[in-house]
Structure 1
Amino acid sequence: QKSFIFSVIYFILIFGIQHFMKERRPFNLRVPLALWSFSLTLFSFIAACRIWKQLAFLLLTKGLKHSVCSQSFYVHPVSKLWIYLFVVSKLVEMGDTLFIVLRKKKLTFIHWYHHLLTMVISWYGYKMMTIGIGWNAALNLVIHSVTYFYYTVTAMGIRVPRSIAMLITTSQMVQMTVFIILNILAFFWRDDKLCRITWPVLFLSLFLYTTLLALFSNFFVKTYLSSTRKSKWN
């Protein structure tokens, strides 16, 4: 319930500020953005290391199914803290959008859609102790540690090769593909007592990851492939 309340506040706030900023000069916010991004880089990296340690142990000792279906991430003294912080970070990361609207940068659909639904599903999934949280957190945190470091560097005014941005978008698409596969596997493992599927979360997450894969793929084609073709013809 709280996640839905925060979602409504987020939605009203970002579009309200965007409207408010229409006739006003954009804020610079270069330094705060760099600090914000770097703090999320550090958090993502540390959290990824902690969660991957638990995930790797399960994967190597008990196999893929156990690593996906095990709820030990919610009870292990170390991983339960970092899983909780990971879920909370989905709310914190919504602050990214404030920088976009206050700096009057382009607010894309994929940006707010991604932040909004990811937070809702993460919070609901955590409350229901759904399976797959370890993989979800581990992959997402690794990619976010790279992504936020990229944001940190660009906020500092350092030019980054285009190939890095392409690599980050590609990693997002790979992440969504893996999540879709894991959800499909969970569906086939539904008769196993180890895999306690929460149907609303399964369908919602499948919907989210499928749409995000489509959106990231579309973004990749339009941003990188289309522009490459144009530059070749010009």
Structure 2
Amino acid sequence: MDVMLHLNGTHLHLPLAEYGFERRFDERGAIAWMQENWCTSFVFSALYAALVFGGQRFMKPRPKLNLRRPLILWSLSLAVFSIVGAARTGSYMFHVLSSSGFKRSICDQSFYNGPVSKFWAYAFVLSKAPELGDTAFIVLRKQKLLFLHWYHHITVLLYSWYSYKDMVAGGGWFMTMNYAVHALMYSYYAARAAGVRVPRPFAVLITSAQISQMAMGLTVSGLVYRWLQHGDCPSSVNNIMWASLMYLSYLLLFANFFYNTYLRRDADCKAKKTE
């Protein structure tokens, strides 16, 4: 079944069947709710930080917990959610790209209210709150908590809720890329938690995909700023500034993680072998 897509006054047929829950989703109500309540993301972030660092102090004199089965279920649930989200938003973005071009895929707001994607756009921003639960497993299992981990969780939550309320340009790219990377990442976590020995190149692939995502996020932000000057991209200088700072910080942090985890470790291993 074809569904109608409205892009800047142009009607296009989208060759994607909508599921019933996608068709019935009230995106106007969702956007209105977010416009009134997006600041709640600061409350979630503050509670998250307090529980994370308070939890570390609480666990310090206590033995670590195993939590293997809950971790498998948690990671598998997020993997399935991300895979489906990537498939639905990816198919939508592919159609817009192939029918209307790259600029339209960035600047048009149809991703927030169009068929198929409207449900998954809202599901994406809401999912950033429960995803904070990732850190609970790190704290309770007494694993090393990286700055990159908790910083990334907080800033993605804040920026996602802040941007969804204004339906800013670039959102389709940001969300689809994140869905796709998380599909790989949570599948990897679920396999590791289940005791599957995942080949090392797969971990390298995931971090490389994250770095590519951040580089593309910076590129999209730059293009939104360029086209904003011509009145073609609905956004604001403030939003573009926050997006650019966020993606630049991610790019540097993930590149540093890649270097320390894969390149420097390999170099250290080779040096030890030659001694």
Of 101, 104, 114, which aligns to 1:66? 104
Of 67, 75, 80, which aligns to 1:37? 75
Alpha-carbon distance in 1 for matches of 2:54, 2:237: 35
- Rg comparison, structure with higher value: 2
Structure with more contact order per residue of length (Cα contacts < 8 Å, sep ≥ 6): 1
Matched residue pairs, number? Answer: 234
Runs (4+) of structure 1 exceeding 4 A deviation are none
Alpha-carbon distance in 1 for matches of 2:124, 2:90: 13
Partner SS for 1:131: coil
Of 199, 202, 209, which aligns to 2:240? 202
Q: What's the CA shift for 1:77?
A: 3.3
List per-residue Cα deviations over 1:103-142 (Å, max 9, x = no partner): 1111000000000101100010001111111111111111
Of 168, 173, 188, which aligns to 2:226? 188
Partner SS for 1:93: helix
Partner SS for 1:141: helix
TM-score by structure 1 length? Answer: 0.98
Alpha-carbon distance in 1 for matches of 2:146, 2:85: 28
* 1:116 aligned onto 2:154: yes
Q: Single out whichever of 69-78 and 180-189 deviates more from structure 2.
A: 69-78
* 1:212 aligned onto 2:250: yes
Could you tell me which amino acid in structure 1 is paired with residue 252 of structure 2?
A: A
* 1:230 aligned onto 2:268: yes
Partner SS for 2:129: helix
* Number of the residue aligned with 1:25: 63
TM-score by structure 2 length? Answer: 0.83
What stretches of structure 1 of length at least 5 have no aligned partner?
none
Alpha-carbon distance in 2 for matches of 1:93, 1:28: 20
Could you tell me which amino acid in structure 2 is paired with residue 110 of structure 1?
A: L
Could you tell me which amino acid in structure 2 is paired with residue 39 of structure 1?
A: S
* Number of the residue aligned with 1:96: 134
Q: What's the CA shift for 1:177?
A: 0.2
Q: What's the CA shift for 1:198?
A: 2.0
